[in-house]
Amino acid sequence: MFEAKLQPEADFNNKVYDIFYDIAKKVQEDVQKETELPYLLDRTKLAECVFNVSVQSLDAHILRREDFPKVHVGGRTLYPKDLVFSWIRDHVEVTDNVAPKRKFGVV
């Protein structure tokens, strides 16, 4: 009978630590970028800094929605950062809801 034993590389713990350190660093950078944004965003800032899409895509798919948070100030429409992030969290589709029967990994 064939038997295989897996043994981690000698510096496996260091590599795992480095991976988690990189992830934590990127999360910290994202939080820093988020806190640097002004409280009210114009549509260009919203498209570039939050959604990472063109202004045209943002207009077509998000800004026309009635439930998307916005504030009218004079003749301008601005978007409150905190409410936008809450709206995004409430409208994210989780993989289990989209493809519940799909198997990932080795089956």
Q: What is the CATH number of the domain that holds 45?
A: 1.10.10
Q: For 76, phi and psi rounded to 5 degrees? A: -100, 150
- Number of domains the chain is built from: 1
- Residue 37 CA to residue 59 CA, distance in Å, equals 20
pLDDT at 6: 74
User: How many whole angstroms separate alpha carbon 91 and alpha carbon 74?
Assistant: 29
What is the DSSP-derived secondary structure letter of residue 59? I
**Can you list the positions of beta strands (E) in the chain?**
40-41, 71-73, 76-80
Average pLDDT, the chain: 85
Helix (H) or strand (E) holding 67: none
**Residue 44 clears pLDDT 70, i.e. is over it:** yes
Q: What is the pTM of this model?
A: 0.63
Range of the domain at 85: 12-93
